[in-house]
Structure 1
């Protein structure tokens, strides 16, 4: 694949509607040389996520979305692309690399963006943005750098001469390991995510996920339209309450949104209640057998498990209810996740939300 870098930008990203951009004044000749050094990320085994039919939150570390829709949680990346494209001519120039070390300039970029053209074949050229996080290690300040003069040798020794640059400030531009690419072709915007966790961190997606997770948790108990989420093919009700019968919905929300486990949050945020969820195809009695197998596992591996009896949701077959509190949010999440619940149904006890 041939690529041509047409612009280099530094971005201080705060949130979807608030970011500062500076464009670097790099000559076309240098951009052409630099383009040849870019290592295009491998797209092999990059699973396609159809957000219209599946969960809007992907829990994969690598994935692609063929067309971003307004309902997608990553739709802000399309807005980001549009802003770069729309204001390209009016974006301020970065006056000097020294500005990156000057705190008084009030510009602290955390993202490097390359605007480029991709030529997959002569008849198809896509415009896209390659995004990389700007790390402190890329900023070199007050260091002594040594470099060689290839064509200049010492007359007496015949050895190549070297020069020193002292007290110099540099920005090293990345050539590989990009977080994602945002591509535009035929009025469609697609994304390829190569480092999902880093994307979540750099673009502060976690706060967005927290909001979705909270809304989904409340959907179990109060939809406002009488369409609360029901689970299993018995349409079982979920109650967020402790063993004394006290409502602990707020505590459940806090336990999820304050967790350091992003995958746990995504599981709640992505739950749709649809029939394609494994938990919707089994009976409450079958789910109860899973709960009993977890209890048996705990009793047999008391000193080995990362969870106890108190961390397991409670099942009430007589009243067709599932009770969840702030201690059992992880195992309840496992029940909502297709892959994990299937393993539990097969009596393979794996709850990844307890793993760091």
Structure 2
């Protein structure tokens, strides 16, 4: 396949808009970029599993594929890109227009490869960061076949192809590694199209959607609710092996619903706040987690200190007692409600619970509430974009 064009994309939750611009490259410059260079950075050794099969289980993965027939939001994005990445897209005016005060005005870069005979397309997605900008840089490069490649490592002094020294006053480097996703589009038989995702959270971030985080956060809640996972198991290391000295504390959630008629308040809280959702989505039942390594009595002391902080006039906290999970030490159960979910979610993060254990009260959700920067925005609805 040959590179047809390179596009810059920006998705904004604030305005529910998608901005697209095209890099003004000539055919000669486009032909110098080969699909093989991108594929070298994509690890194919791990077999991708279906997003649908993962959605039906209780496991999490950063890598998966979505078949066209699944008709998830990934396919809505595929259809949007297929329809809108074309030669009619306006070029960026210049390199400076890509940035504003050194900050990129686009969050991703896409390489569109085409095969006119087979009517197939492949679109490779990369995150765009400020580090791609080159200002007043001197680049040493070596000619390999017909391609000029930049050299970052020290070179031997013998048997070299000619080196070239270039002064770059204002330019960008094109990312070729850490590919986030590939959209395989077959316009002869659209049902054969699919999306491969190599970094789930970055994919959602670039397309301004939180569906992966929502799904993984709910998985965490389900694992606790079904007692697949426990906390406060008093884990110690003996002869380089982790040993649980206690069965631990089960976590039970109130406000959940198994019926479509009744709103699941736990899930609703997850969906409306990133500071609640992200720690739940990132959590794994790893023995290195501080929340697992402490014992039930330490957990109970922490809960008591949070309650005492509410009563203490000298301590200013931005939460009430109903926002604190309740612990039943006798039955070893931690009860979490929609109101206390933000504090439970924060306790899953090592750095947060370690502060709490050292008597420093800092809950990200309530810190954000105090500052008025909760960041509750609506996701882009990709089903409306087609």
Identify the TM-score tier after normalising by the shorter chain. Answer: 0.5 to 0.7
**What CA distance in whole angstroms lies between the structure 2 residues aligned with 1:82 and 1:313?**
52
**What CA distance in whole angstroms lies between the structure 2 residues aligned with 1:296 and 1:171?**
46
- Preserved CA contact (<8 Å) 2:63 2:199: yes
- Preserved CA contact (<8 Å) 1:66 1:191: yes
Indicate the SS of the match to 1:80.
helix
Indicate the SS of the match to 1:129.
strand
Cα distance change, pair 144–253 in 1 and its aligned pair in 2 (3 A): closer
- Preserved CA contact (<8 Å) 1:140 1:170: yes
> Offset of 1:145 from its aligned partner?
1.8
Whether 1:193 aligns to 2:191 is: no
Residue 324 (structure 1) aligns with: 336
- Preserved CA contact (<8 Å) 1:257 1:265: no
- Preserved CA contact (<8 Å) 1:209 1:265: yes
Comparing 324-333 with 18-27, greater Cα deviation is found at: 324-333
Residue 167 (structure 2) aligns with: 165
**What CA distance in whole angstroms lies between the structure 1 residues aligned with 2:94 and 2:293?**
65
Cα distance change, pair 27–326 in 1 and its aligned pair in 2 (3 A): same
- Preserved CA contact (<8 Å) 1:12 1:110: yes
Could you give the per-residue CA deviations for residues 94-134 of structure 1, whole angstroms, max 9, x where no partner exists? 2322322467xx99112100001489xxx977412100011
Whether 1:259 aligns to 2:256 is: no
Could you give the per-residue CA deviations for residues 125-153 of structure 1, whole angstroms, max 9, x where no partner exists? 74121000111000122x14254798xxx
Structure-2-length-normalised TM-score: 0.52
Q: How does 1:155-234 map to 2 (within 5 A)?
A: 165=167, 168-185=169-186, 186-188=189-191, 189-206=193-210, 220-221=256-257, 225=261
**What CA distance in whole angstroms lies between the structure 2 residues aligned with 1:212 and 1:50?**
12
Indicate the SS of the match to 1:200.
helix
Comparing 171-180 with 61-70, greater Cα deviation is found at: 61-70
**What CA distance in whole angstroms lies between the structure 1 residues aligned with 2:11 and 2:32?**
28
Match of 1:98 among 96, 99, 110: 96
- Preserved CA contact (<8 Å) 1:213 1:257: no
**What CA distance in whole angstroms lies between the structure 1 residues aligned with 2:49 and 2:338?**
34
**What CA distance in whole angstroms lies between the structure 1 residues aligned with 2:46 and 2:142?**
44
Cα distance change, pair 297–163 in 1 and its aligned pair in 2 (3 A): closer
Cα distance change, pair 222–84 in 1 and its aligned pair in 2 (3 A): same
- Preserved CA contact (<8 Å) 1:255 1:326: no
Could you give the per-residue CA deviations for residues 258-289 of structure 1, whole angstroms, max 9, x where no partner exists? 4365261589xxxxxxxxxxxxxxxxxxxxxx
Residue 127 (structure 2) aligns with: 133
Cα distance change, pair 33–312 in 1 and its aligned pair in 2 (3 A): farther
Cα distance change, pair 61–354 in 1 and its aligned pair in 2 (3 A): same
- Preserved CA contact (<8 Å) 1:131 1:178: yes
Number of aligned residue pairs: 266
> Offset of 1:64 from its aligned partner?
1.3
**What CA distance in whole angstroms lies between the structure 2 residues aligned with 1:172 and 1:63?**
28
Residue 31 (structure 1) aligns with: 30
Structure-1-length-normalised TM-score: 0.56
**What CA distance in whole angstroms lies between the structure 2 residues aligned with 1:161 and 1:212?**
49
Residue 63 (structure 2) aligns with: 62
**What CA distance in whole angstroms lies between the structure 2 residues aligned with 1:165 and 1:355?**
46
- Preserved CA contact (<8 Å) 2:9 2:21: yes
Unaligned stretches of 5+ residues in structure 1: 151-159, 230-248, 268-293, 334-351
Whether 1:10 aligns to 2:8 is: yes
> Offset of 1:257 from its aligned partner?
2.7
Indicate the SS of the match to 1:38.
helix
**What CA distance in whole angstroms lies between the structure 1 residues aligned with 2:127 and 2:141?**
30
Whether 1:116 aligns to 2:110 is: no
Q: Calculate the aligned-residue CA RMSD, in Å.
A: 5.2
